[in-house]
Amino acid sequence: MKESVSKIPGTLLFVVLISALFYLIFFSNKKTNKGEIKMIKISGNNLLPGRDYLKYAKLENISNYVKLTLAEIRGKIEKHPYVQKADVAYEGNNEVNVYVKEKVIEAVIIIDGEPYFITDDFQILPMLPDIKMLDMPVISNPQLNEKVVQLSYIRTNGITEAFKIIDAAKLTNINMYKKLSEINLRYGGDIILTFSGVKPPVLFGKGEEAEKMVYLDMLWNGMVKGNDMVKNSDYIDLRFSNEIFVGTDVKTGLIE
């Protein structure tokens, strides 16, 4: 009996501590601004200036901060199409910091003549004003079976292959990836790659992305320096297994 009685204070203390923790969590989220918030700062942003995120959330004016909870601030910021997640904290000195985790942009994609961003999980995002220009490849002429709208997800065989090409370029030669300017999907035909500063296009074909990038890397220095073989060629052909062709005959049916 004495043992049971002795355990009661410990259990009671545990209950009190847990209750206090839930109280703090609940009221920290429910806490409203009674005039103490004078500034909201955005950090972690790369795609857009912080003021653009605040403007989208209608938080750029201090007068709008009255009676606003931290949870509401987070909810407003997370509605932005570029934001994957936002963490909000009261920093003291009348300031709130919002750390945004932006979505990962994989490429620019051209749909019906208009440019959009496409994320690493195949979401289509609008290109908003004031966007910081990103050095990334453009995916052109995708084969789409339905009308694509902003914030929708598209994952076709061609776009998946374009992503594999991008990943293979990054892993093989980061400088080659940085020069990759266009992945032309040709509406389901053989894929053509264009590299900035390199004269001949690359007839990449389909499949075996990693192997083909290794073969292309073997030619890369000559492609960049413009040696005679590459400089005088009309195309580089990687469509045949374990073979690289550097050709001067433009009658391939692919190059216009």
Residue 222: how many CB atoms within 10 A of its CB? 15
Q: Compute the average pLDDT of residues 21-50.
A: 68
Mean pLDDT of the chain: 82
Separation between Cα atoms, residue 51 and residue 72, nearest integer Å: 18
Q: What is the pLDDT of residues 117-140, one digit of tens each?
A: 999 999 999 999 888 777 899 999
pLDDT band at 184 (very low <50, low <70, confident <90, very high): very high
At 5, the pLDDT band (50, 70, 90 cuts) reads: very low
What length does the chain have?
256
Which pLDDT tens digit goes with each residue over 60-109?
887 767 778 899 999 999 999 999 999 999 888 888 999 999 999 999 99
Write a three-state SS string for the chain: CHHHHHHHHHHHHHHHHHHHHHHHHHHHHHCCCCCCCCEEEEECCCCCCHHHHHHHCCCCCHHHHCCCCHHHHHHHHHCCCCEEEEEEEEEECCEEEEEEEECCEEEEEEECCEEEEEECCCEEECCCCCCCCCCCCEEECCCCCCCCCCCCECCCHHHHHHHHHHHHHHHHCHHHHHHEEEEECHHHCCEEEEECCCCCCEEEECCCHHHHHHHHHHHHHHHHHCCHHHHCCCEEECCCCCCCEEECCCCCCCCC
Q: Is 188 left (phi over 0), alpha (psi -120 to 50) or beta?
A: left
- Residue 62 pLDDT: 76
Give pLDDT, residue 193: 95
Query: pLDDT for 134-176, tens place per residue?
Result: 789 999 999 987 777 677 899 999 999 999 999 999 999 999 9
Is pLDDT above 80 for 57?
A: yes
Using pLDDT thresholds of 50, 70 and 90, give the confidence band for residue 115.
very high
Express each pLDDT in 210-239 by its tens digit: 999 998 888 887 777 766 666 677 888 888
Residues 154, 122 contacting (CB under 8 angstroms):
yes
**What is the CA 232 to chain-centroid distance, rounded?**
37
Q: What is the pTM of this model?
A: 0.78
Name the maximum alpha-carbon separation found in the chain. Answer: 98
Q: Does residue 180 carry a pLDDT above 80?
A: yes
For the chain, percent of residues with pLDDT exceeding 90: 49
Which amino acid is residue 210, in one-letter code?
A: A
Residue 24 is predicted with a pLDDT of 47
